[in-house]
Structure 1
Amino acid sequence: MATLRPFGPGPAVDPFCLEGWVGRQDEALRIRYRLRGPLEQLVLGEPSADPQRRDGLWQSTCFEAFLGVVGERQYWELNLSCSGDWNLYRFEGYRSGGGEEPWIQALPIVLQRSATQLDLELSLPWGGWLTTVDPRLELSLTAVLEHRQMGCQYWALRHCAAEPDFHQRSSFIAVEQLHSEPVPEGHQAEITGER
């Protein structure tokens, strides 16, 4: 289990705890987020009956993952909304050459929510878009939490710049090997904040 941390302290973030897990299962990357705290203080999209691929999700509460292959400049940005809307972008280098990843056309998100806890999980298939024999990935789990009174706060495993910047490759965590065997329910491959 990895704990995401807000960029800068403050009373708005104190009551919240955000954690993330990543594991490899079959031909997919499983990603799970758990947010605990007084959720009524946040702007959370209502679940949509017809989730869509959408731009601009990061302008409000949005769970994100950035991933790339160790040693390669190209990387991807995954955006997930509580509404079920999503997007996956591919960049050729730091904030350059960005566009939608065409290999992924649908991305079902499983969302469970109570007054004090939100769990979001998805299975991101490898097929076609992440073509490499090297199983080493660099990952950064991040999130934007929009507070009703305080605006947006930016959360990540690591913050490596003077301003919040999820695209900073130095904030990605090198994962030497993701497990190739199936991950049992409730037992995710662990990502730590250490290199």
Structure 2
Amino acid sequence: MNDQTFYLQPFPSPKSLPNLKIAGNIARNSNQLTICYTLEGDLKEIAIAPPSNAPSRKHELWEDTCFEFFIGIKDSARYWEFNLSPAGHWNIYRFDGYRQGMQEETASTILPFNVQNQADGLALALDVDLDKIVSAEQAIEVAITTVIKHRDGEVTYWALTHRGAEADFHLRDSFIVEL
């Protein structure tokens, strides 16, 4: 098992950011991936969708507050983007290379995860079996990210690292967690 703690940083912005902290941990045990996010701080300034009674696969979740991670196979251009909405909606996309060949990943038809609203924050936890997309023997590289939409409509981008001149979660040199 390879368990790592993470802390996300906002992409530099001239605008003042609300007092937020995004942290968590990620682990891979055999081919089971576990990722947990905690969002703490002044959440009344953040647009967070209420829990849905019928969570489902949806597109363009990144246009609102959305927890994301990207998995790439080491030494391969192929990667996957996982989107998790605090409302319970989700999606997985497969790419052949940097922003190339985007397709909905149909190997998964459900992606259940847990969202807990807490007094001073929000916690999101996901356990996912990676067998349908990568083998347990393949080393993976992961980028952990979050999109935060503020009540005023402004969007901030949070990641382990920002390697580009603009916020771009798809840059492979930002897939810095190896599992």
Q: TM-score range by the shorter chain?
A: over 0.9
AA paired with 2:152?
A: Q
Cα gap change, 1:174 to 1:23, in 2 (>3 Å): closer
Map of 1:139 onto structure 2: 142
2:53 corresponding residue in structure 1: 49
Q: Are 1:34 and 2:46 counterparts?
A: no
Structure 1 gaps, min length 5 = 179-195
**CA distance, structure 1, for counterparts of residue 97 and residue 80 of structure 2:** 10
Amino acid at match of 2:47: V
For normalisation by structure 1, the TM-score amounts to 0.85
Look up the match of 1:160. 163
TM-superposition CA deviations, 1:135-171 (whole Å, max 9, x none): x211110000001125100000000000000000011
Equivalent position to 1:114, from 114, 118, 129? 118
> 2:44 aligns to what SS in structure 1?
helix
**Which structure ranks higher in relative contact order (CA pairs < 8 Å, sequence separation ≥ 6)?**
1
User: How many Å apart are 1:20 and its aligned residue?
Assistant: 2.6
Runs of 4 or more off by more than 4 Å in structure 1? none
Q: Give the structure 2 partner of residue 69 of structure 1.
A: 73
TM-score, normalization by structure 2: 0.92
Q: What amino acid is the match of 2:33?
A: L
Instruction: Tell me, in whole angstroms, the C-alpha distance in 1 between the residues paired with 2:24 and 2:61.
Output: 19
Distance 1:47 1:25 in 2: 29
**What is the identity, as a one-letter code, of the residue corresponding to 2:126?**
L
Q: Structure 1 residue 25: deviation in Å?
A: 3.2
1:122-147: CA deviation from partner (whole Å, max 9, x where unpaired): 1111122223622x211110000001
Matched, 1:172 2:169: no
1:16-53 residue CA offsets vs partner (Å, 9 max, x unmatched): 00013111235410011001001111000111111000
Unaligned residue ranges in structure 2 (runs of 5+): none
Aligned residue-pair number: 174
